[in-house]
C-alpha cells in the first residue's frame, strides 16, 4: 500500500503533514487523512484484531461500517476508546493503538483463540455460563479476552452540550441523490439541512468513477451549487443516529448531539456495500471495492499492488477501471455471474481489450494468507470457458463488489414498510410515513443520473408537502437495467472460515448450527448468535445472514422479513448522550441565610432545606435536640417556604375548597384558618395543609412541599372539569414563609409589627395581613410544632430583610433557627402526621384517626363516596402512637416491623428520641387487633425485638394549651408596647444573596456576542381573572389583544398577555410609578372582585447579542428564530415554555433599527440554578453578565 501521486479530487492537503504513532511506531499522513487512510498510506495492513478469535484484520469498508478498525486514541492526557478510524480525521501527536490485544497488534498472544475456534461454537456462552459455580470464572475470563477499547477511568468531565435545530427539509446523506434532493427542496424556497456522516460530502459520486472524471465533475458542480445556496446548510462528519416521532432526528456531530425538528425528512443514506462470503474473506487486503475507491480518490492511497476484483455488478467493473487508471496491476476480474450484464458489458470489453483476464461463473474457494498474515493469493474455479479446474492467482488485494444492502435503518424507525424486490435483490420502501421520503440507493436507484433525478423528485415532494410549490408526485420505481446485487454471494468451504459477521466473528457454520439448534427465524438467529449485535449493527452482515437463513429454510426473503435496526445507527459516545445534564434545584429566598448559619442540607422534593444547623463541637443529634429544646422553651424559627402556597379567588372559591378538602370552608370566618385534608377518589390520604380565608371570595392555602406542583396542576384541571368560576394563583416560588414558634414568639414578633397580637385580636388559627418589619405579610397562627406560633408568609423579595430583622432582635430572645429534623420531632411529640411518611399510597382517611376533619355531611368532597363504602368494611390498619420505657436501651427506626405472634402486623412510620418526654416515641401503622391492645413488639436491627406501650397521641400537651397560649411570653418586658424594629424591609433581587455566578462572566457588555442583564428590580405585578383586561385598560395600560403577545406603551410599560386572561405588567422604560400605583390598588380593598392579584418576585433576565439564537438552541426546544426576525420595537410574541428544565415566560423585542432582545421571567426559587446554568452555557458563547 502506498500513497499515489496527486489524484484529481483528493481530499488531503499535501502541504500539511500530520505526525502520529500507531502501536508505538511513528508515522505520518496529511491533513485530510482519516486514521485508517493514513495507516494505509504508510503501508500498515493489519489494523486490528477480531473480537472473538483475535484474527488479524484490515480495512473492510473504509467507511466505518465494520468493527475491524476501531482504535484507542491517546491524545495528551486523554485516552478515547473505540474511535472509528475510517471516519475520524487523524491529528498530530495522536498515539493510536489497536483495541483488545495482549502484547500488541502484531504479536497478540490471544491469537491462539483462533486455533481453539472449534471449541467455541455459536452460543457457547449460553451453554457454559449457566452454572452458578462456573459463571464467575467464565465471566472474569471472557471479560479479559473479549471486548473493545478501554475506558479511561481518570478522564475528566467533558462538556458536550446538546443543541436543538430546526429546518423545513432535512436531507440525510449528501451523495448524488441527497444533493439532488437538497437543491430541489431549496429551489422551491424551503430551508434545508443536509447532513453526511463522512468528513466530505459527495458520496459515491466522488469516488465511484469507472476510470473517468465525468461523475467527479458533476458531483463537484452539485456541491458548488449546494454551497452557493443560502437556504442549504451542509453538515459533514455528522450522522443521523436515529429517527424519532414527528420528524425528530438525532444528529451526532463530532463534539455534540443535535436534536433536529424537521417538517419533512428525505432519507438518502445510500447503501452499504456487502462482502462476499468465502474462506479467508476477512484477511487484511480483502476489502470492499468501494473501500478501495474511497482510499484512491479521497486520500490518493493505493490499497494494493496487484488486485483481483470479485464482482457481480457494473460497480465492480467500474472499480476495476479505477484500479487500472491509477496504475494498479489488475490480476483478474472474477465475475460470479455467467456473463456480464448490459451495464457491465462495455467495461468488460474494454478490460479484455486492455489485456485483463475476465472470468465468468466464478466460485471463490479460498483467499490465501501470506507470512505477514495478509492476503497473498486467491484460489477459485470458474465454470464458464475453461474446465472447472481450481486456479490460483498471486495478488496482494481482493476487491469485493458483489452487492449492496440499503441503509434503511432510519426508514424503518420512521415506520416505513419494506418489501423485497428481486429485480434489485434488496428491500425497498413499500409505504412511507407522512413527510418521510426516500431516494437513491436506499430506494433501489443506482445510476448517477437516475439517483440525481430521484433525489430531485424526493426534494420536490418534501418541499411541496410544506406548501413550497405544488404538491409533487413521483413515478413508479423502475428496476435497474443490471441488478447491482448478487442473490447469494456465499461460498461454503469444507474447512469453514467464511466470515459473515466481522464484528462478532461469525461464520456460515455458526449460522447453520444456530438454525440446527432451532433458532431459525431472523429474530432468534440474531439473538442466539449475536449476529448484527456488534458495533456495526449488521450493516455488512445482516443481508448475507438472511440469505443464508433463506437457503437453510428454503424460503424467500419476502417471507423471512428483516429485523429492525434500532437507534443508534452508528456507535455514539455516552458523553454525547449525557450532554450537559440539567438538574433544576429550587431554593427559598432564605437559602443564603441558612448557609451562613451552617445549615446541613437535605433534599425535599426538588428543593433543598436545612436538615439542621451544625454547631461546632456538637454532634448532629445534639444539635437537633438543642433546636427542639429552644422551640419548647424560648423561640425558634424554621423556613417553610417550600410549602405549596396557593390563592383561590372567585365566586366559587369556597365551593372549590369544599370539594377538594374534607372539611368545611363555606362557613369559615374571615380571618380564620382551618386544617385541610385531601383525599383521592378512593379515599386515600394524598395531602394536607392549612386553608385561611382572606376575603369572602378569597382564600390562601398551603400544600406539602413535594406535592405542590402536581397538586396545583390538578386543581386547575378540577376547576375546569367542575366548571367552577375560580382563579387559582400559585405563589409557591414567589412567596416565602417561615414559622416563628415557641413561648416567646409573640413577644418577638410584636417588636416588628403594629398588628395587635393579643389573643383576643389574633386568636389561635387566625390569619392576618399586615406589615412586619415594613414588609407586607400574611401571618397565620398555627400549631404544627405544638407551641404558640406564627407562620409568616410574604413576597419572596422581602424575605431576607424580614428574616434578618427578626434575627437581629431575636438575639435577646436567643432565637434559634431549626431545621427539618427538629420539626419532625416537635410535630411527632404532638402526634401530627406527615402525609407520605405516616401514610402510604393505600392509607385511607379512616385509618389515621382524623374523623374530626371528615365532614361526611357535606354534599361532596373527593373521596367521600369511597369513605362511605370503606366505613362499612373492617379496617385494614390503624395508626397508633407508642412509647418505649425511658431506660430502653434499643430504639426502633422508621419501617421496622411490628410483629404479632411472629407474623408481620405493621410497621413503624415515625420514631425518635423525644427530649421533652425523655423517651423514645413513635407512630406505627398496625392491624386493628393490635391497635386495640396495650403493647407492640417491634423487630429492630439484627433480629432484636423491643416492646413498646401503645399511647394515644399527642404525647405532649394533649390539651393543646401551649399553641393556644394567651400569655404574652416570658420576656414580656421586651414587648411592652414599644416596637424596636428600626428596619424597613426592601425588596431584593433574587440573585442578590446568590454567592456564585455573576462574577465569572464579567466584562464589557458593549460589543459582546452575548449579554445577560438581570432586570429583576423593575416594578412589576401580575393579575388574572375575568375582569383583569377591562381593569388594566381602565387604568390606562395598553393591552395586547392577541393571546401570548405583549406590547410596550408610550410610557415604557410592558403589558404581556400570558395565554388568554393572565397579565404581567412591568415598567420597562419608565412608568414605575404607574405600575406601583396599580399594584398597590390590586393589593388593597379597591381591587375589583373579579381581578385577582398575581404576586411576581421573578428573576428577570434580558439577553441580547449576536449569539442569542445559538444560546437559545442550547437551552430551549422552541424555535425562536422566526420570532427574533419578526419582532418589533414595541410589540412582540410571548412564549410560555421550558428552558433548561424550568418554566419561563419569554418575550422578544427588537425592530428594524435595533438588535432583538429576549426577556425571560423565571420563578425566583429557580433563580440560583437558572442563573448559574445560563452563565455556564453562555461561557462558551462569549457571554458577559451584568447583575444590577
Partner 1 sequence: MKLMTCPINGPRLISEFAYGGEMREMPDPVAVSDAAWADYVFNRNGVPGVKKEWWCHTPSGVWFIAERDTTTDTIQRTYLYQPGARVRAERAA
Output 99 or 257, the one with its CB closest to partner 1: 257
Q: Which stretch binds partner 1 (CB under 8 A): 445-453, 718-726, 997-1005, 1092-1100?
A: 718-726
Interacting residue with partner 1 among 1, 640, 828, 1144 (CB under 8 A): 1144
Q: Which of 625, 43, 36 is closest to 302 using CA atoms?
A: 43
Q: Is 722 in the site for partner 1 (CB under 8 A)?
A: yes
3-state secondary structure string across 570-610: CCCCHHHHHCCCCCCCECCCCHHHHHHCCEEEEEECCEEEE
Restricted to residues 728-757, the positions that interact with partner 1 (CB under 8 A) are 730
Strands (E), 52-91: 56-57, 70-75, 78-84
Q: Which stretch binds partner 1 (CB under 8 A): 39-47, 275-283, 530-538, 1137-1145?
A: 1137-1145
Q: Give me the residues paired with residue 775 across strands.
A: 772
Query: Helices 653-660 and 708-722: crossing angle, nearest 10°?
Result: 120
Q: Which stretch binds partner 1 (CB under 8 A): 11-19, 375-383, 571-579, 1136-1144?
A: 1136-1144
- Binding flags for partner 1, 848-867, as an x/- string (CB under 8 A): ------------x---xxx-
- Binding flags for partner 1, 165-204, as an x/- string (CB under 8 A): ----------------------------------------
Interacting residue with partner 1 among 1137, 1154, 1155, 1188 (CB under 8 A): 1137
| Contact call for residues 338 and 312 (beta carbons, < 8 A) | no
Least distance in Å: CB of 552 to partner 1?
36
Nearby residues of 954 by Cβ (< 8 Å), 6 or more positions away: 786, 829, 830, 831, 832, 960
- Whole-angstrom CA distances from 294 to 40, 291, 297 are 12, 5, 5
| Contact call for residues 728 and 708 (beta carbons, < 8 A) | no
Output 186 or 1139, the one with its CB closest to partner 1: 1139
| Contact call for residues 901 and 913 (beta carbons, < 8 A) | no
In 10 A of CB 103, how many CB atoms? 10
Interacting residue with partner 1 among 146, 363, 682, 980 (CB under 8 A): 682
Strands 306-311 and 329-335: parallel
Interacting residue with partner 1 among 567, 1143, 1151, 1182 (CB under 8 A): 1143
Output 6 or 1059, the one with its CB closest to partner 1: 1059
Output 695 or 1141, the one with its CB closest to partner 1: 1141
Q: Which of 764, 786, 785, 769 is closest to 674 using CA atoms?
A: 764
- Binding flags for partner 1, 945-974, as an x/- string (CB under 8 A): ------------------------------
- Binding flags for partner 1, 694-713, as an x/- string (CB under 8 A): ------------------xx
Q: Is 619 in the site for partner 1 (CB under 8 A)?
A: no
Output 62 or 729, the one with its CB closest to partner 1: 729
Q: Give me the residues paired with residue 702 across strands.
A: 645
Restricted to residues 334-393, the positions that interact with partner 1 (CB under 8 A) are none
Least distance in Å: CB of 1021 to partner 1?
19
Output 870 or 1091, the one with its CB closest to partner 1: 870
Q: Is 245 in the site for partner 1 (CB under 8 A)?
A: yes
Least distance in Å: CB of 246 to partner 1?
4
C-alpha cell at 267: 432519507
- Whole-angstrom CA distances from 327 to 211, 303, 304, 623 are 11, 12, 10, 86
Q: Is 1138 in the site for partner 1 (CB under 8 A)?
A: yes
Interacting residue with partner 1 among 714, 759, 1013, 1049 (CB under 8 A): 714
Coil, strand or helix: which one is 798?
A: helix
Output 247 or 539, the one with its CB closest to partner 1: 247
Least distance in Å: CB of 1061 to partner 1?
10
Q: Which of 210, 123, 534, 234 is closest to 401 using CA atoms?
A: 210
Least distance in Å: CB of 1147 to partner 1?
14
Q: Is 871 in the site for partner 1 (CB under 8 A)?
A: no
The Cα 249–Cα 261 span in angstroms is 7
Q: Which stretch binds partner 1 (CB under 8 A): 419-427, 471-479, 714-722, 904-912?
A: 714-722
C-alpha cell at 742: 415557641
Least distance in Å: CB of 178 to partner 1?
24
Coil, strand or helix: which one is 490?
A: strand
The Cα 1175–Cα 475 span in angstroms is 53
Handedness of CA 1136, 1139, 1141, 1142 (dihedral sign): negative
Interacting residue with partner 1 among 24, 385, 1043, 1122 (CB under 8 A): 1043
Half-sphere exposure of 1016 (CA within 13 A, CB side): 22
Least distance in Å: CB of 1117 to partner 1?
5
Least distance in Å: CB of 1138 to partner 1?
5
Helix (H) or strand (E) holding 350: helix 345-353
Length of the chain (residues): 1188
Q: Is 248 in the site for partner 1 (CB under 8 A)?
A: yes
The Cα 1036–Cα 730 span in angstroms is 27
Output 100 or 864, the one with its CB closest to partner 1: 864
In 10 A of CB 872, how many CB atoms? 6
Q: Is 869 in the site for partner 1 (CB under 8 A)?
A: yes
Q: Is 467 in the site for partner 1 (CB under 8 A)?
A: no
In 10 A of CB 356, how many CB atoms? 20
| Contact call for residues 687 and 643 (beta carbons, < 8 A) | no
| Contact call for residues 531 and 511 (beta carbons, < 8 A) | yes
Least distance in Å: CB of 1132 to partner 1?
16
Q: Is 929 in the site for partner 1 (CB under 8 A)?
A: no
Least distance in Å: CB of 721 to partner 1?
7
- Binding flags for partner 1, 1054-1073, as an x/- string (CB under 8 A): ----xxx-------------
Q: Which residues bind partner 1 (CB under 8 A)?
A: 244-246, 248, 259, 261, 681-682, 712-714, 716-717, 720-723, 730, 860, 864-866, 869, 1043-1044, 1058-1060, 1117-1118, 1135-1138, 1143-1144
Amino acid at each position: 500500500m502506498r500513497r499515489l501521486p496527486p489524484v484529481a479530487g483528493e481530499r488531503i492537503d499535501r502541504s500539511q503533514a500530520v505526525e502520529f504513532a500507531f502501536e508505538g511506531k511513528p508515522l505520518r499522513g496529511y491533513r485530510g487523512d482519516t486514521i485508517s487512510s493514513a495507516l494505509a498510506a504508510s503501508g500498515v495492513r493489519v489494523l486490528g484484531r477480531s473480537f472473538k478469535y483475535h484474527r488479524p484484520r484490515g480495512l473492510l469498508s473504509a467507511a466505518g461500517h465494520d468493527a475491524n478498525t476501531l482504535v484507542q486514541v491517546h491524545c495528551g492526557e486523554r485516552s478515547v476508546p473505540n474511535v472509528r478510524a475510517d471516519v475520524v480525521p487523524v491529528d498530530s501527536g495522536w498515539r493510536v493503538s489497536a483495541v483488545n490485544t495482549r502484547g500488541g497488534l502484531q504479536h497478540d498472544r490471544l491469537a491462539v483463540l483462533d486455533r481453539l475456534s472449534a471449541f467455541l461454537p455459536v452460543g457457547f456462552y449460553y451453554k457454559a455460563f449457566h452454572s452458578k459455580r462456573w459463571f464467575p470464572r467464565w465471566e472474569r475470563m471472557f471479560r479479559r479476552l473479549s471486548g473493545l477499547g478501554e475506558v479511561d477511568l481518570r478522564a475528566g468531565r467533558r462538556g458536550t452540550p446538546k443543541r436543538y435545530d430546526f429546518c423545513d427539509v432535512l436531507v440525510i446523506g449528501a451523495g448524488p441523490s441527497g444533493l439532488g434532493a437538497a437543491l430541489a427542496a431549496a429551489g422551491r424556497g424551503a430551508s434545508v439541512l443536509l447532513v453526511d456522516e463522512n468528513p466530505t460530502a459527495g458520496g459515491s459520486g466522488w469516488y465511484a468513477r469507472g476510470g473517468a472524471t465525468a461523475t467527479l465533475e458533476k458531483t463537484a458542480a452539485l456541491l458548488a451549487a449546494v454551497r452557493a445556496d443560502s437556504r442549504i446548510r451542509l453538515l459533514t462528519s455528522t450522522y443521523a443516529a436515529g429517527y424519532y416521532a414527528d420528524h425528530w432526528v438525532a444528529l451526532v456531530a463530532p463534539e455534540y448531539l443535535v436534536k433536529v425538528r424537521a417538517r419533512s425528512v428525505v432519507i438518502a443514506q445510500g447503501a452499504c456495500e456487502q462482502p462476499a462470503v468465502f474462506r479467508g474473506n476477512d484477511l487484511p487486503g480483502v476489502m470492499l471495492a468501494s473501500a478501495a475507491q474511497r482510499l484512491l480518490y479521497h486520500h490518493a492511497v493505493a490499497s494494493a499492488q496487484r488486485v483481483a476484483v470479485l464482482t457481480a455488478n457494473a460497480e465492480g467493473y467500474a472499480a476495476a477501471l479505477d484500479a487500472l487508471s491509477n496504475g494498479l496491476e489488475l490480476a483478474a476480474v472474477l465475475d460470479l455471474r455467467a456473463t456480464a450484464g448490459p451495464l457491465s458489458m462495455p467495461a468488460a470489453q474494454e478490460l479484455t481489450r486492455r489485456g485483463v483476464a475476465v472470468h465468468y461463473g466464478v466460485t471463490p474457494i479460498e483467499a490465501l494468507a501470506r507470512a505477514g498474515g495478509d492476503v497473498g493469493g486467491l484460489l477459485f474455479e470458474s465454470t464458464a470457458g475453461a474446465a472447472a479446474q481450481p486456479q490460483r492467482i498471486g495478488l496482494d488485494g481482493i476487491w469485493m463488489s458483489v452487492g449492496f444492502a440499503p441503509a434503511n435503518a432510519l426508514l424503518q424507525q420512521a415506520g416505513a414498510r419494506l418489501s423485497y424486490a428481486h429485480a434489485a435483490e434488496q428491500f425497498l420502501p413499500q409505504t412511507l410515513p407522512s413527510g418521510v421520503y426516500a431516494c437513491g440507493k436506499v430506494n433501489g436507484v443506482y445510476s448517477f443520473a437516475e439517483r440525481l433525478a430521484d433525489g430531485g423528485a424526493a426534494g420536490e415532494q418534501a418541499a411541496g408537502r410544506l406548501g413550497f410549490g405544488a404538491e409533487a408526485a413521483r413515478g413508479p420505481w423502475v428496476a435497474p437495467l443490471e441488478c447491482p446485487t448478487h442473490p447469494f454471494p456465499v461460498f461454503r468451504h469444507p474447512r469453514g472460515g467464511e466470515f459473515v459477521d466481522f464484528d462478532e466473528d461469525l461464520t456460515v457454520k455458526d449460522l447453520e448450527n444456530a438454525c440446527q439448534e432451532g433458532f431459525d427465524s431472523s429474530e432468534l438467529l440474531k439473538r442466539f448468535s449475536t449476529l448484527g449485535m456488534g458495533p456495526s449493527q449488521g450493516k455488512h452482515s445482516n443481508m448475507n445472514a438472511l440469505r443464508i437463513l433463506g437457503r437453510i429454510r428454503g424460503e424467500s426473503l419476502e417471507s423471512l422479513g428483516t429485523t429492525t435496526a434500532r437507534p443508534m445507527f452508528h456507535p455514539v459516545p455516552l458523553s454525547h448522550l449525557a450532554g450537559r445534564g440539567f438538574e433544576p434545584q429550587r431554593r427559598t429566598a432564605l437559602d443564603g441565610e441558612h448557609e451562613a448559619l451552617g445549615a446541613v442540607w437535605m433534599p425535599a422534593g426538588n428543593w433543598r432545606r436545612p436538615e439542621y444547623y451544625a454547631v461546632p463541637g456538637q454532634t448532629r443529634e445534639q444539635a437537633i435536640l438543642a433546636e427542639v429544646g429552644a422551640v419548647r422553651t424560648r423561640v425558634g424559627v424554621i423556613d417553610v417556604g417550600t410549602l405549596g402556597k396557593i390563592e383561590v379567588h372567585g365566586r366559587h372559591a369556597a365551593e372549590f375548597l369544599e370539594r377538594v378538602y374534607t372539611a368545611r370552608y363555606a362557613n369559615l370566618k374571615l380571618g380564620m384558618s382551618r386544617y385541610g385534608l385531601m383525599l383521592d377518589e378512593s379515599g386515600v390520604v394524598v395531602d394536607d395543609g392549612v386553608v385561611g380565608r382572606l376575603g369572602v371570595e378569597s382564600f390562601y392555602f398551603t400544600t406539602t412541599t413535594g406535592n405542590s406542583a402536581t397538586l396545583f396542576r390538578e386543581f386547575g384541571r378540577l376547576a375546569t372539569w367542575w366548571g367552577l368560576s375560580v382563579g387559582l394563583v400559585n405563589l409557591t416560588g414567589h412567596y416565602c414563609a417561615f414559622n416563628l414558634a415557641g413561648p416567646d414568639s409573640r413577644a418577638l414578633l410584636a417588636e416588628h409589627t403594629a398588628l395587635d397580637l393579643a389573643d383576643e385580636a389574633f386568636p389561635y388559627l387566625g390569619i392576618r395581613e399586615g406589615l412586619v418589619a415594613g414588609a407586607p405579610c400574611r401571618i397565620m397562627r398555627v400549631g404544627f410544632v405544638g407551641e404558640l406560633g406564627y407562620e409568616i408568609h410574604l413576597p419572596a423579595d422581602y424575605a431576607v430583610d424580614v428574616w434578618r430583622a427578626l434575627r437581629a432582635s431575636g438575639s435577646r430572645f436567643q432565637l434559634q433557627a431549626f431545621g427539618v429534623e427538629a420539626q419532625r420531632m416537635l410535630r411527632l411529640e404532638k402526634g401530627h402526621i406527615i402525609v407520605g411518611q405516616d401514610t402510604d399510597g393505600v392509607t385511607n382517611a379512616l385509618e389515621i384517626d382524623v374523623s374530626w376533619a371528615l365532614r361526611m355531611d357535606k354534599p361532596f368532597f373527593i373521596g367521600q363516596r369511597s369513605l362511605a363504602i370503606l366505613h362499612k368494611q373492617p379496617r385494614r390498619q390503624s395508626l397508633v402512637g407508642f412509647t418505649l420505657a425511658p431506660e430502653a436501651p434499643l430504639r426502633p427506626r422508621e419501617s421496622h416491623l411490628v410483629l404479632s405472634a411472629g407474623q408481620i402486623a405493621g410497621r413503624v412510620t415515625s420514631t425518635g428520641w423525644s427530649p421533652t418526654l425523655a423517651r423514645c416515641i413513635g407512630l406505627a401503622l398496625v392491624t386493628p387487633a393490635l391497635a386495640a391492645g396495650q403493647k407492640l413488639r417491634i423487630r429492630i436491627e439484627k433480629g432484636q425485638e423491643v416492646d413498646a406501650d401503645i399511647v394515644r397521641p399527642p404525647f405532649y400537651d394533649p390539651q393543646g394549651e401551649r399553641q393556644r397560649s394567651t400569655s404574652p411570653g416570658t420576656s414580656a418586658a421586651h414587648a411592652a408596647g414599644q416596637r424596636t424594629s428600626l428596619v424597613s424591609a426592601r425588596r431584593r433581587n433574587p440573585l442578590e444573596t446568590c454567592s456564585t455566578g455573576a462574577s465569572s462572566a464579567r466584562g464589557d457588555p458593549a460589543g459582546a456576542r452575548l449579554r445577560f442583564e438581570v432586570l429583576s428590580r423593575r416594578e412589576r405585578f401580575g393579575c388574572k381573572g375575568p375582569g383583569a383586561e377591562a381593569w388594566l385598560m381602565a387604568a390606562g395600560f395598553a393591552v395586547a389583544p392577541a393571546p401570548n403577545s405583549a406590547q410596550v406603551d408610550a410610557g415604557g410599560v410592558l403589558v404581556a398577555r400570558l395565554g388568554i386572561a393572565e397579565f404581567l405588567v412591568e415598567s420597562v422604560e419608565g412608568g414605575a410609578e404607574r405600575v406601583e400605583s396599580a399594584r398597590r390598588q390590586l393589593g388593597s380593598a379597591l381591587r375589583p372582585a373579579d381581578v385577582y392579584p398575581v404576586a411576581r418576585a421573578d428573576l428577570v433576565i434580558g439577553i441580547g447579542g449576536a449569539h442569542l439564537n445559538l444560546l437559545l438552541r442550547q437551552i430551549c426546544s422552541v424555535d425562536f428564530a422566526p420570532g427574533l426576525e419578526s419582532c418589533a420595537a414595541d410589540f412582540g410574541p410571548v412564549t410560555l415554555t421550558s428552558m433548561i428544565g424550568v418554566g419561563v415566560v419569554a418575550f422578544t423585542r427588537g425592530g428594524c433599527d435595533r438588535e432583538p432582545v429576549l426577556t425571560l421571567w423565571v420563578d425566583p426559587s429557580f433563580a440560583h440554578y437558572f442563573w448559574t446554568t445560563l452563565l455556564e452555557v453562555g461561557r462558551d458563547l462569549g457571554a458577559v453578565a451584568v447583575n444590577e
